Structure 1
């Protein structure tokens, strides 16, 4: 009889796996179609046209946050002061960050016309989002997880649900042309470095994020209190590289030093003010807050407490004659700011206590939960947190969803996770103008719905960390 050769064909997939794969392909195609259409919307939103003589300063097509980045990139590329935004070809509003982001990626992007650069920037943002999801998928779901249960337990489904839950924050960032998805990617990359046993690389990633926007510097303190020496070293080397060496090579040392001093002065002023005005821009009318009262801004704890506990303007888009405050008490803004500072320090202390233990530092689940808790702490205690910054909420949302899908939470931790993941999309829906209406969305935003959703996520993440630590302690005692 002729010898039978073994088959080299891959084993046939079970019917459920084939259906799941087909559904994911269709979902991916629909997602790509949506991203293309939404990209057109975002580019139209950020379109820039130079003002015509006599044209109203509150004109259309005057740009978005991206325009400030573009101005800084153009000024950096041409060797001028990157904070002299009025001398750029797109004078809309000031660039208020360290020079790092102006140099890379904005200086190369400024070779393109503003609106073409905006389209490229949109897709860079999308790439950062997809890259973050890919890294989280590799860390949080074990190999073979796609065949471990039904359709709703697929990792891709969990990631998609998390994106929907954070949709309002993603919408805000992408329409404004902001850089927070870059921060999300490099923050996730920092976690991936620790997860893969490459703490130096993780520290470098966090250093770049910190050099773009200062608030991720809290992760540097996390490296300190969790005793991660190589991560601290990577962070220190990265800060020297991204804040000093690269800017000095491009701009020269005098301009680099001056830029850093300008940034420190600007950031210090914003952190110290209990209330603030919106960022100045070329369309500002020059009037201060005196006619309408002080403003409370942002979705940090300080911002939301100021809106609720002091007579500050919190609904900025309403006419001066309308009710523009939602406060239930009439405390002085300075008093509320001091109370918010004390509460922020308590939250920071609790975060340190929960994330400094052995299980939280060494176990993969403990590491992911610790990173999530530090992320939420950063967003809650930073006085400058805005809605678009909350794209980083995607990290704790994905972590909790992954643990629920794999049935790794029980008791109060499980209930808290479900509650937080229900509150998060409710908050985003209530503040979505297209769904709730412009006035209702502004009211719920002023009431701090995004802040309280982050507080709920903080409680759920802390409960999961405590539960994991307690379970680990019981295992150690039983082994002894």
Structure 2
């Protein structure tokens, strides 16, 4: 089912034209304007730091980090950065376009519907998530590439290549840490080879790959500084070097929303020009709010485990629904879940779109389309025409919950088999 884009297919041509247009959007400010903004200059800086043998982080882990990722991404960025900014930006845009195509291909192939979708059904998830794709190109963030990596890993896992799957999960984790959330799932599902591969290759990518370029001791020192500054830092002000974003409306993670509801936090703190605003229902201290976060996270995890079918009853359909829930939970469990993080809803949306199109029960199909419309309506509240309060209370988080509810229902209520239909007719 996986294929290359074809110039004979109108929707493939539309994809190619859109990808070129988004790449041009990235390049025009750099070539004819004042330079591309957002994260692109940072990626060039990180690559140049590696090429010049300079440090990626300040010696003090409490100081401000320009680059908040592990050393491996900087190593990878150094190669195109050697050729200059424009080649780097073209390379990053090409990776986003390739990841967009592979995400669509893999998502449609992994729904377990047993159907080859029509062109419009296959393309529909791309249309409804196009604003997230625009963010990927505009910001230069790697979340779409990470999504394609994770889907490829699960594709390999389903096709009997657990060590290759684990290596892909590890690479995604070594680039941007939040995909590490897949490891507990692998362990729970007793995917021992994939879990072992992920652990081993994470060590390879973090410690061994940068060592020939940075030096082993220097790389370990930088990893230690990065860990203390990013993972090991947390306070009432925030965490992970970006205090002004952590508790503000831009973050729709479970952690952030719980703290905004439990503590009198200014959700306008990302913009000091705006008046302070709070939305808390309770007035707890930081430590108590963290216990609430742990309790909520535990209940969510327990609920996920409870709906998982036993291994003997897993089907391709239920596995797709299970993975759809997993991708939703990995998105909102990340400590920082900005708007573009919800690009990861692409796969669970694809699963539900296939169910809405091909489930044999007419009433269920209609209800699924309504559920998708509700989730889409909630996500549309992120448009700037709506007040940011709607994002502060978690519109995308609510949309994710709606999608999870639909996937849970399908796991618990699979369509009747052919024998069931025959018995009902008799």
In the TM superposition, what is the alpha-carbon distance from 1:296 to its structure 2 partner?
5.9
- 2:103 corresponds to 1:103: no
Q: SS of the residue aligned with 2:209? A: helix
Q: 1:46 to 1:187 in 2, by over 3 A?
A: farther
User: Which of 331, 335, 345 is matched with 1:393 structurally?
Assistant: 345
C-alpha RMSD over aligned residues: 3.5
C-alpha contact 2:68 2:241 (8 A) present in aligned 1: no
Q: Which runs of no fewer than 5 residues in structure 2 stay unpaired?
A: 1-5
Structure 1 position 337, deviation (Å): 3.7
Of structures 1 and 2, the larger Rg is shown by 1
What is the Cα deviation at residue 324 of structure 1?
4.2
Q: Look up the match of 2:256.
A: 303
- In structure 2, do the counterparts of structure 1 residues 357 and 76 end up closer, same or farther at CA, with 3 Å as the change threshold? farther
- Deviation of 1:82 after TM superposition, in Å, equals 2.3
Q: Secondary structure at the match of 1:264?
A: helix
What pairs with 1:133-212 in structure 2 (closer than 5 Å)?
133-140=104-111, 145-146=116-117, 154=118, 156-212=119-175
Q: Are 1:82 and 2:56 matched, yes or no?
A: yes
What is the alpha-carbon distance in structure 1 between the residues aligned to residue 32 and residue 312 of structure 2? Answer: 51
Q: Distance in 1 between matches of 2:224 and 2:194?
A: 27
Q: Does 1:120 align with 2:72?
A: no
**1:409 CA drift (Å):** 6.7
1:26 is the counterpart of 2:21 = no
Q: Secondary structure, in 3 states, of the residue corresponding to 2:268? A: coil
Deviation track 1:19-73 (CA, whole Å, cap 9, x = no partner) reads xxx9982333233323322333334578899xxxxxxxxxx74732233232222
Cα gap change, 1:419 to 1:258, in 2 (>3 Å): farther
The equivalent residue for 1:366 is 318
Partner of 1:339: 292
Deviation at 1:77, TM superposition (A): 2.9
Q: Secondary structure at the match of 1:145?
A: coil
* CA distance, structure 1, for counterparts of residue 236 and residue 29 of structure 2: 31
Distance 2:335 2:391 in 1: 16
Is 2:355 the counterpart of 1:403?
yes
Matched residue pairs, number?
A: 410
1:255 aligns with 2:218: yes
- C-alpha contact 2:258 2:289 (8 A) present in aligned 1: yes
Given candidates 448, 454, 476, the residue that maps to 2:400 is 454
Aligned residue for 2:376?
425
1:384 equivalent to 2:336? Answer yes
1:128 CA drift (Å): 0.8
Question: Where does the alignment leave 5 or more consecutive residues of structure 1 unmatched?
Answer: 1-21, 50-59, 86-91, 147-153, 281-287
Structure 1 residue 220, shift from structure 2 partner: 1.3
Q: Secondary structure at the match of 1:140?
A: coil
Distance, in Å, in 1 between the alignment partners of 2:32 and 2:173 is 29
Q: Does the 8 Å CA contact 1:396/1:457 hold for their aligned counterparts?
A: yes
Shift, 1:274, TM fit: 4.9
How far residue 250 of structure 1 moved from its aligned partner, in angstroms, is: 2.4
Q: Displacement of 1:218 after TM fit?
A: 1.6
Distance across 2 between alignment mates of 1:61 and 1:93: 22
- Asked if structure 1 preserves the Cα contact closer than 8 Å seen for 2:125 and 2:349, the reply is yes
TM-score scaled by structure 2? 0.84
Give the CA deviation at 1:352. 2.3
Cα gap change, 1:416/1:74 in structure 2, threshold over 3 Å: closer, same or farther? farther
CA shift in 2, pair 1:318/1:200, >3 Å: closer
**Distance verdict in 2 for CA 1:266–1:318, change over 3 Å:** closer
Farther off after superposition, 326-335 or 231-240: 326-335
Work out the CA distance in 2 between the residues paired with 1:359 and 1:419.
32
- Output the CA distance in 1 between the equivalents of 2:403 and 2:235: 27
Give the deviation of 1:275 after TM superposition.
4.7
- Answer yes or no: is 1:244 the counterpart of 2:228: no
Q: Deviations over 1:263-293 (max 9, x none)?
A: 22123245x335538966xxxxxxx97xxx9
Matched residues in 1 for 2:113 and 2:404: separation? Answer: 25
Match of 2:268 among 299, 307, 315: 315
Superposition map of 1:30-69 within 5 A: 30-44=14-28, 61=35, 63-69=37-43
Cα distance, 1:326 vs structure 2: 5.0
Label 1:403 to 1:134 Cα distance change in 2 as closer, same or farther (>3 A).
Answer: same
Q: Which residue of 1 aligns with 2:229?
A: 266
Deviation at 1:177, TM superposition (A): 0.7
Superposed CA offset, 1:291-348 (max 9, x none): xx9746511122223334533222356664x544251535236244432321111111
Name the CA distance, whole Å, in 2 between partners of 1:331 and 1:47.
Answer: 51
Residues 333-375 of structure 1 show CA distances to partners (whole Å, capped at 9, x for unaligned) of 6244432321111111221233362156x42222222211111
Q: How far did 1:261 drift?
A: 1.0
C-alpha distance in structure 1 between counterparts of 2:179 and 2:247, whole Å: 28
What is the distance in 2 between the residues matched to 1:401 and 1:73? 40
The answer on whether the counterparts of 1:299 and 1:385 sit within 8 Å (CA) in structure 2 is yes
Distance 1:274 1:420 in 2: 37
- Which residue in 2 is equivalent to 1:71? 45
- Structure-1 residue corresponding to 2:3: none
